[in-house]
Amino acid sequence: MLTYHHYLRKQFEAVFNSSIFETMNYLAHIYLSGDSDGIKIGNFIGDYVKGKQFLGYREDIQQGILLHRLIDHFTDHHPLVKECNRLLRPGYGKYAGVVTDIFFDHFLASAWSHYSAVPLKQYSKNFYALLLQNFMVLPTHVKLFIPFMIQHKRLTSYADLSGIEQSLRIMGNRTSLPEESEYALALLRKEYQLFAAIFSAFFPELITYVENEGGYPIARPGLNHWAH
């Protein structure tokens, strides 16, 4: 007889094996949501809400979901992002963009103090609390993923290369992402300054795009309302 615990485990494994890496740059999406909690939630779940399903959510979450799509469109078509994908394609093929997302969240996390007055650990704890407060409105896939995300400190782990390596190995062993963590880390170490320069040029453009096209002001150090 299948117990409820086993049922949840099977559901979690199904999520992990299918769509866990639809979005890998969680930190960037959350940061680019400005100060609205609802927009943060919507931006976070954006990849798990397809088509017109967003209409089933309250207005601020709808705005976050649509913002997520704006960010993805701008990112996917940006020449600097395409250059990163090109560098990673020999090891990851069509999944190169997944690793680019991880690299970009690394650079955001490692230079976090340039973007927020709130320490990254506190910012992450606040967001995890926000997810739990809004747990019932999250898509099922996301609900099952949250414990893994919190346990493995997803939002802070990418600040260190060891966190990137761990994530790539887990995905390489349990998803369709190629297990090429050694290739990715070797390339990142070899071309670290190049990837860092690409991110440093790209991310301010993305911030400006979100502020201009989405109308969402992005908090700067000293202005972030989560500093409490």
Q: Is residue 225 part of a domain?
A: no
Q: Is residue 133 part of a domain?
A: yes
Q: How many CB atoms neighbour CB 56 within 10 A?
A: 10
Give the number of domains in the chain. Answer: 1
Q: Is residue 223 part of a domain?
A: no
pLDDT tens profile 182-217:
888 999 999 999 999 999 999 999 999 999 987 878
pLDDT over 90 at 64, yes or no: yes
Average pLDDT for the chain: 85
Q: Which whole number is the average pLDDT over 130-143?
A: 94
pTM of the shown model? 0.85
Burial 206-225 (b: 16+ CB within 10 A, else e): bbebbeeebebebbeeeebe
Residue-number span of the structural domain to which 158 is assigned: 4-214
Among the ranges given (10-14, 47-51, 97-101, 115-119), the one the predictor scored with the smallest mean pLDDT? 10-14
d(CA 101, CA 121): 20
Q: 192-209 and 96-110 are packed helices; what angle lies between their axes, rounded to 10 degrees?
A: 90
Contact indicator for 33, 126 with CB cutoff of 8 Å: no
Q: Is residue 227 part of a domain?
A: no
pLDDT over 70 at 162, yes or no: yes
pLDDT over 80 at 70, yes or no: yes
Contact indicator for 41, 134 with CB cutoff of 8 Å: yes
Q: Is residue 224 part of a domain?
A: no
Among the ranges given (79-83, 92-96, 99-103), the one the predictor scored with the smallest mean pLDDT? 92-96
Q: 192-209 and 59-76 are packed helices; what angle lies between their axes, rounded to 10 degrees?
A: 130
pLDDT interval class at 152 (50, 70, 90) = confident
Q: Is residue 52 part of a domain?
A: yes
pLDDT tens profile 106-124:
999 999 999 999 999 999 9
